[in-house]
Structure 1
Amino acid sequence: MQKNDFNEKLTMLRQIIKNHHTEGLLLTKQCNINWLTHARSFVGLATEGACFQILITLEKVILISNTIESERLATEELFQIADDIHWETYVWYGETKKVNSRYIIDTQCETDLYQCRTRLSDTDIRLLRELSIKTARIVEQKCHEMKKGMTEFAIAGEVSKTLWEQGIEPVTLLIACDERIAKYRHPLPTSHVLNNYAMIAVNARKHGLFASVTRFVSIGEPSIDLKKKFHALAAVEFSFIKETKAGNSLGNIIKKAIQTYQDIGFSEQWNFHHQGGITGFMARECKPWITSDELVQNNQAFSWNPSIVGAKIEDTILVNNNKTEILTYTGEFKYVEYNDSGNVIKIPDILIIPH
């Protein structure tokens, strides 16, 4: 955590307090506390609420936690700003601080906080770049190491182990092999054994930020049908990346993608799964539809995830200085190349490894 980043975000929060004509703002959700502090605000990975709260007033920052969390937070998570905040601790069997009617809770001003979270700071961007490339390399490494006979549980264990070794939290981990890929869009890992090809899809988190990556690997030459689907799907992903430019509406991006699905002969496939959207301090801050008039802005991150039954492509990208950067591109995988006005965009293909 950098103090200047923390202080800049405090200024934004205090402006929200002023705009709402209130005396304070209580942050309770992980996404909001993570945005402000880059701390690990969870105990259980799957929780939405944080394990502590932060009350912002025009004069103070007050951290409210029970005795279970307070020492860890002070020494491991928030030590860089520990001297700048006031601490209120209560015993684990006691009640949390009652919210004064003069304060608002983050759930009451979500629109304002959404605007803050989805415009990434310089520090956020640096951390997201680091997370994205590390996550992509880990997923791709595990694709290269895949062996026939591995169970989906074993693959999930290998991916999780290596992510955790880098301090990266595997918040969502979808693993499927062979026929299960076509059967389910959200395939949780099972004891199913890898025979021909596999998918690894992960929403990974560090410093509160999310990177999303999906990669496919085939042991031996993939079927003609799978190749066809993947090359068709690459055209949809290219549409998403090409259209994700500052000033374009999210609705227009979705419309162009749907048109591409139709052009490649898979006109109904977009119906069966959302197409992704803005990312950052949530795996998906929004999942836009054709009616969305929200405009793409600089310093926003996106994870689009188009899919056709049995195939999916997913990367994390950043719109910065009116350019689009694929943060999860490593240059170490197999790609399909597209040209966007002289700019070569590489879309991940199926990695083929020998039997």
Structure 2
Amino acid sequence: MSRASEIQHKLQLMRQALQATQATGIRLRGTDWFAWATAGACHTVLLAAETGVAEVLVTLDSAWILTNEIEAQRFQDEELGSELAEHYKLFVHPWSDPDAAETFIQTVTNAGSLISDRPAATESPLPAILIQHKRILLPNELDRYRRVGRLASEAMTEALLAAEPSWSEYQLAGAGAEALWSRGLHPALTLVAGEKRLPRYRHPIPTQELLGRVAMLVFCARGYGLYANLTRFVCFGSLTPVEADLHHQVQQIEAACLNQARPGTALSQVYEVLAQAYQRWGYPDAIQDHHQGGTTGYLSREVIATPTCSEILTANMAMAWNPSLAGAKIEDTFVLLADGSLENLTFDPTWPAAEIAGRLRPLPLER
């Protein structure tokens, strides 16, 4: 499937949604949906924003990318390309007159009803079936995801091979971000904990604390709109027996989760298996200390698993689980294949690993 064919397919899905809802137009504002609808184009300027400098507008007989005059030339030169321009027209409005875009939308939709991923007061949400389509990867999307995962894992390895115990957490986060940017990936999230803070916090925003003897680095790396999520540890010297055992326990807890994550399984069932695994290893309350992950893709987590989550895993969905204990965590991004197997998108063959339940899983890097 070419990029043009992928976009055409997605336009058909959006027009089916219009027919099902009897709306006259669909607006996609979010970074996740913009990347999905354009087969990986980027409208991001402010990295932390959920929306960008352009949006998608689709009607039953036409489709546009709406942006302002600041961004238009770059979109034409670097984002649209011939395949995207084949299906989307570009509407450009003055940056000083954002109402011009609203007027244009009202005109081309005959002031009809609109559906949107980020609905305004007069708009309605997207139908569930279209949201489900976004979460199931097409072959083209999976190919792009493999590239993002490989680059993200290489960036992780580069950063942790360069790290020194005298570095601050800020320095390691910066090295990780640099390694991602140099590969064309957005460092949407870089968490770091050194020896002092590692046992205390599950979401360690980097600080000026020194790394010390052991450190954790976490990435949510975005490319083509897709998120590669992974966690790795470095130890300057050797792990103590207690530390090695803690990582072993987390690997076993994760194995129970990965064994359960099969097509047709509800995320609530995977959550329950995780809860039971924590219980078996003597940590009955650990599941409350941090979310355990869930499905991923065009969001760092499309759906987070909870005890009541009804989301059903389907072939070609991506997932990222992150079971943890105080001082140990494990995380990679997998895609669930039709035969029920898991393909690890963030596996770096140069990173130390052990076979756990038939899968190669990362070990702390001992330097």
TM-score relative to the length of structure 2: 0.91
Distance 2:201 2:127 in 1: 32
Tell me which residue corresponds to 1:324. 342
Is 1:302 aligned to 2:319, yes or no?
yes
Out of 351, 359, 362, the residue aligned to residue 333 of structure 1 is 351
Post-superposition Cα deviations, 1:1-24, rounded to whole Å, max 9, x if no partner, equal: 811111111111111111101121
Deviates more, 1:272-281 or 1:186-195: 186-195
Tell me which residue corresponds to 1:24. 25
Q: Read off the aligned partner of 2:47 and give its amino acid letter.
A: L
1:95, CA displacement in angstroms?
2.4
Q: Read off the aligned partner of 1:6 and give its amino acid letter.
A: I
1:112, CA displacement in angstroms?
3.5
Q: Read off the aligned partner of 2:112 and give its amino acid letter.
A: S
**2:115 match: secondary structure:** strand
**1:180 match: secondary structure:** coil
Tell me which residue corresponds to 1:145. 162
1:180, CA displacement in angstroms?
0.8
Post-superposition Cα deviations, 1:89-118, rounded to whole Å, max 9, x if no partner, equal: 111110242253332223311633321210
Distance 1:126 1:83 in 2: 22
Contact 2:30–2:51 under 8 Å retained in 1: yes
Tell me which residue corresponds to 1:51. 53
1:83, CA displacement in angstroms?
4.3
Counting only pairs closer than 5 Å after superposition, residues 68-83 of structure 1 correspond to structure 2 as 68-80=70-82, 81-83=84-86
Distance 1:140 1:264 in 2: 30
Post-superposition Cα deviations, 1:216-271, rounded to whole Å, max 9, x if no partner, equal: 01011123332221110001111121111111111111111110111111121110
Tell me which residue corresponds to 1:63. 65
Deviates more, 1:324-333 or 1:12-21: 324-333
Post-superposition Cα deviations, 1:124-182, rounded to whole Å, max 9, x if no partner, equal: 10010111121112212322222221111111121111211110110000011102111
Contact 1:121–1:299 under 8 Å retained in 2: yes
Is 1:105 aligned to 2:106, yes or no?
no
Is 1:15 aligned to 2:16, yes or no?
yes
1:66, CA displacement in angstroms?
1.0
Counting only pairs closer than 5 Å after superposition, residues 230-309 of structure 1 correspond to structure 2 as 230-309=247-326
Contact 1:175–1:200 under 8 Å retained in 2: yes
Tell me which residue corresponds to 1:216. 233
Distance 1:162 1:142 in 2: 7
**When the two structures are aligned, how many residues end up with a matched partner?**
349
% same residue = 28
Contact 2:270–2:305 under 8 Å retained in 1: no
Is 1:39 aligned to 2:41, yes or no?
yes
Contact 1:212–1:314 under 8 Å retained in 2: yes
Tell me which residue corresponds to 2:121. none
Distance 2:46 2:219 in 1: 18
Out of 359, 362, 365, the residue aligned to residue 345 of structure 1 is 359
Deviates more, 1:251-260 or 1:91-100: 91-100
Distance 2:259 2:86 in 1: 46
Contact 2:13–2:130 under 8 Å retained in 1: no
Deviates more, 1:39-48 or 1:330-339: 330-339
Deviates more, 1:135-144 or 1:7-16: 135-144
Tell me which residue corresponds to 1:114. 131
Contact 2:193–2:204 under 8 Å retained in 1: yes
Tell me which residue corresponds to 1:4. 5
**1:199 match: secondary structure:** strand
Contact 1:238–1:347 under 8 Å retained in 2: no
Could you tell me which runs of 5 or more consecutive residues in structure 1 were left unpaired when the two chains were aligned: none
Structure 1 pair 83–346 and aligned structure 2 pair: CA distance change class (3 A): closer
Distance 1:64 1:218 in 2: 49
Contact 2:303–2:311 under 8 Å retained in 1: no
Deviates more, 1:222-231 or 1:65-74: 222-231
